[in-house]
Amino acid sequence: MTSGPTLISSRDNALLVRLRKLAHDPGAYRKLGAVWLEGDHLCEACVSRGHMPAQAVVSEAGWADSRLQQLARAAPRIAIVADALFAQLSSLESPARLGFVLDHAVDAVAVQAGVATVVLDRLQDAGNVGSVLRSAAALGVAQVVALTGTAALWSPKVLRAGMGAHFALRLVESAAVEDLDALAVPLLATSSHAGFSLAEGRLPSPCGWVFGHEGQGVGEELLARCAETRRIPQPGGEESLNVAAAAAICLYESLRQRRSV
């Protein structure tokens, strides 16, 4: 049950101090055990997937909007913040008027066996990571495993790029290569030198698609664990594809083959 809203007008309020850390430090959620979801789109995605926010934080202008007020009431606690103070919680050019605080367990999530998975090997760009998560959620992947060195999955930039995909996926962070043994599905990677192109022959299903560092690609140890590699045809002559684009192509081909059976 939602309690009555609390009005906050001081910049030094403990909640606002905590939220500024969550909003501007990509790894703060690991230290503080909470995630800051900024904007009504992420908040709606959270609620629609059955996740309960710990608290809603809404600007004064946002509270005057009946739709945002109703969405805020999904949380058991509501804080109404002066517009100028709410803007300090944002890294966006046009700050949102609503956000959720979501409890985030610091305990490691175990790898789930036997499901379609994406493995991220040290991807650095938050936009790429979020885009891969979005494609994974849209194309029937159940789980994303991020190896140590990958951009923080629940950082504000990855959350924005993911557009709500986080709430449709099982997310495993800070995994070691050895943890992938628990997947119990074949691992696949892309390579411009692979003998077979992506659509030649059946892809294993379920499988784990591996996507590597933007500049260095998949690490040698991990590549050696892959059951096979596939080549994405590029008749236009480009040397390589952006990793998020390559992931979308590979995941779509896996989906296409699953649906054709």
Q: What is the pLDDT of residues 142-173, one digit of tens each?
A: 999 999 999 999 999 999 999 999 999 999 99
The last residue of one of the domains, among 103, 134, 168, is 103
Residues 44 and 123 in one domain: no
The mean predicted confidence, pLDDT, of the chain is: 94
Residues 145 and 63 in one domain: no
With CA atoms as reference, report the closest residue to 221 among 230, 210, 231: 210
Q: What's the CATH code of the domain at 97? A: 3.30.1330.30
Say how many residues make up the chain. 261
Residue 248 lies in a domain: yes
The last residue of one of the domains, among 75, 103, 131, is 103
Residues 181 and 85 in one domain: no
What span, in angstroms and rounded, lies between the C-alpha atoms of 152 and 166?
12
Residues 137 and 224 in one domain: yes
Residue 145 lies in a domain: yes
Tokens standing for residue 67: 């739709």
Residue 1 lies in a domain: no
Assign residue 50 a region (left: φ > 0; alpha: ψ between -120 and 50; beta: otherwise).
left
Q: What's the CATH code of the domain at 123? A: 3.40.1280.10
Residues 121 and 92 in one domain: no
What span, in angstroms and rounded, lies between the C-alpha atoms of 188 and 176?
17
Assign residue 247 a region (left: φ > 0; alpha: ψ between -120 and 50; beta: otherwise).
alpha
pLDDT tens digit sequence for 212-253: 999 999 999 999 999 999 999 988 877 778 999 999 999 999
Following CA atoms 231, 233, 235, 240 in sequence, which dihedral angle do they give, to the nearest 10 degrees? -50
**Burial environment of residue 124 by CB neighbours within 10 A (0 to 12, 13 to 18, 19 or more):** middle
Residue 96 lies in a domain: yes
Residues 167 and 65 in one domain: no
Full residue range of the structural domain in which residue 173 is found = 117-260
What is the tally of structural domains in the chain? 2
Q: What is the pLDDT of residue 260?
A: 87
What are the angstrom distances between the C-alpha of 10 and each of 76, 84, 130, 221?
Answer: 22, 11, 33, 52
The last residue of one of the domains, among 68, 103, 138, is 103
Residues 122 and 158 in one domain: yes
pLDDT tens digit sequence for 196-220: 899 998 999 999 999 999 999 999 9
What span, in angstroms and rounded, lies between the C-alpha atoms of 158 and 46?
15
Residues 136 and 235 in one domain: yes
pLDDT tens digit sequence for 40-62: 999 999 999 999 999 999 999 99
Residue 108 lies in a domain: no
Residue 222 lies in a domain: yes
Residue 45 lies in a domain: yes
What are the angstrom distances between the C-alpha of 195 and each of 126, 165, 198, 222, 226?
Answer: 31, 33, 10, 19, 15
Decide: 135 and 251 in contact? Cβ < 8 Å: yes
Decide: 91 and 63 in contact? Cβ < 8 Å: no
For residue 231, the number of C-alpha atoms closer than 13 Å in the C-beta half-sphere is 11
Residues 94 and 135 in one domain: no
Residues 132 and 236 in one domain: yes
Residue 109 lies in a domain: no
Residues 94 and 128 in one domain: no
Residues 25 and 69 in one domain: yes
Report residue 1's pLDDT band, with 50, 70 and 90 as the boundaries.
low
pLDDT tens digit sequence for 64-80: 999 999 999 999 999 99
Place of tokens 């739709």: 67
What span, in angstroms and rounded, lies between the C-alpha atoms of 122 and 69?
39
